[in-house]
Amino acid sequence: MHTIAHWVDGKSFGGTSEASAPVTNPATGVVTGQVALANAADVRVAVEAAAAAFPAWRDTSLTRRVQVLFRFRELLNERKEELAAIITAEHGKVLSDALGEVTRGLEVVEFACGIPHLLKGGFTENASTKVDIFSIRQPLGPVAIISPFNFPAMVPMWFFPLAIASGNTVVIKPSEKDPSATLWVARLWAEAGLPAGVFNVVQGDKVAVDELLDNPSIKAVSFVGSTPIARYVYQRGTAAGKRVQALGGAKNHMVVLPDADLDLAADAAVNAGFGSAGERCMAVSVVVAVGEVADALVERIAQRAGTIRTGDGTRGTDMGPLVTREHRDRVASYVAAGETQGARVVLDGRDVRADGESDGFWLGPTILDHVRPEMSVYTDEIFGPVLSVVRLDGYDEALALINANPYGNGTAIFTNDGGAARRFHNEVEVGMVGINVPIPVPMAYYSFGGWKASLFGDSHAHGVDGVQFFTRTKAVTSRWLDPSHGGLNLGFPQNN
């Protein structure tokens, strides 16, 4: 049984805390390691290392920073299968899905390689007589990243490439459920030539989070997780004077209009609903069937979902286990509650025969039809392979349902009517919209983030928004005079 430690100042760090938590392979139920849980003193050591490394990294030329970033990109691309295997072993998602996660994170690394262009300031000559004004963007200092279990590689990569490329130093706290991916990344940064202390990892739970939120040396916090915790992180972090971007939960709706291609829509609902066992913040969890398409659509979805092979992600299966036994049982309880409240179970994954060990945390694809908005299976973020079908009569009802939902992360509409699609993306109160695209995760050069209870703070992840979040603007007004000065003048300065 090995211990998964911290990474501080360019090397492994055991810390002083004796607390730990088990790390389990969800496909076997076997405990594969113990992750150290940092106390406040351990976190302070990491923060101090980041603070000490900041002045030199801030003053490192853009050319040198980008060289390190390019080297990191090349190493990550060469070894991405290795990282994917680590993710599968601790999270449970199938290898192909884990590799896709790493690849999407790699896109942000590649975007960050263009940081010199994104950090350019502005210059105005002779704004006033012999007075020039220019603006520059400067890094904040040590920043913290608190990442979730469902994307142990991709979500941190939404943030740290831009933070590091902009001249900040980083302390990251990964989920204690699958902590090894971030340590692997730390070692890769060291190999790429990143100076010690620029990228640090502290394992831990709420104790570590609170220290990061309170520590005055941490200047900004990026968080992804559930809405209640996102709200907590935002409130506590901003109360301590920090910039905070806290991405929360989701209840993503996919509207299918009567003119839609039902085969395309059914494929999309299955792919987006059951990929990674539904443990995605961008998963489609509600299909809104409009008008007379419901019966045919549900039939197509059920037929496709019934062919999904659930099992160990290393065996070439389609869908893996859920992350923990407790989470598996919680998701199954929502299925039971939905059935009790009147929903029809079209496909029941509670008794799935998985291609894996009997102690794995298995729950197969599940479809509930005739779901109503007051049911818990609709109101709550389930975060599992449960697809709810809500039947409505028209477009206006579908739009009103989505806009009334407290979450606003992602949504999609399937239609062949361009006017309906344009009206939808204009009217829907959701941050990311897909048109005949089920998981509208933008490319790295666009921002990622929801509305309403899906995001606390003004800044979205990656894209130009990410660069702005990790930097601040300084305006400089400059005048270089002839040897003789103009004398004293106590009047308010005027442009001339």
3-state secondary structure of 42: helix
CB 110 within 8 A of CB 452: no
CA distance 81 to 184: 12
**Is 281 one of the annotated active-site residues of the chain?**
yes
For residue 95, give the DSSP letter. Answer: H
103's tokens? 């690849």
Strand partners, 246: 223, 456
List CB contacts of 109: < 8 A, sequence separation 6 or more: 69, 72, 73, 76, 157, 161
Strand partners, 391: 289
Residue type, 41: A
In 3-state terms the chain splits into helix, strand, coil percentages (rounded to 5) of 40, 25, 35
Give which of 324, 44, 299 is closest to 175, Cα–Cα.
324
* Distance, CA of 258 to chain centre: 33
Please state the length of the chain. 496
Give which of 333, 339, 281, 274 is closest to 306, Cα–Cα.
274
CB 279 within 8 A of CB 384: yes
List CB contacts of 454: < 8 A, sequence separation 6 or more: 227, 247, 248, 249, 250, 407, 408, 409, 431
Give which of 110, 82, 79, 412 is closest to 267, Cα–Cα.
412
Alpha-carbon distances of 130 from 78, 481, 494, rounded to whole Å: 53, 8, 13
User: Which residue's entry shows tokens 């039809």?
Assistant: 369
Beta strands in 296-420 (DSSP E): 344-347, 366-369, 386-392, 407-408, 410-414
CB 192 within 8 A of CB 33: no
Helices in 200-324 by DSSP H: which ranges? 206-214, 227-239, 262-274, 294-305
Query: Catalytic: which of 185, 281, 398, 439?
Result: 281
CB 364 within 8 A of CB 309: no
Backbone torsions φ then ψ of 106, nearest 5 degrees: -60, -30
| Active site residue ranges | 281
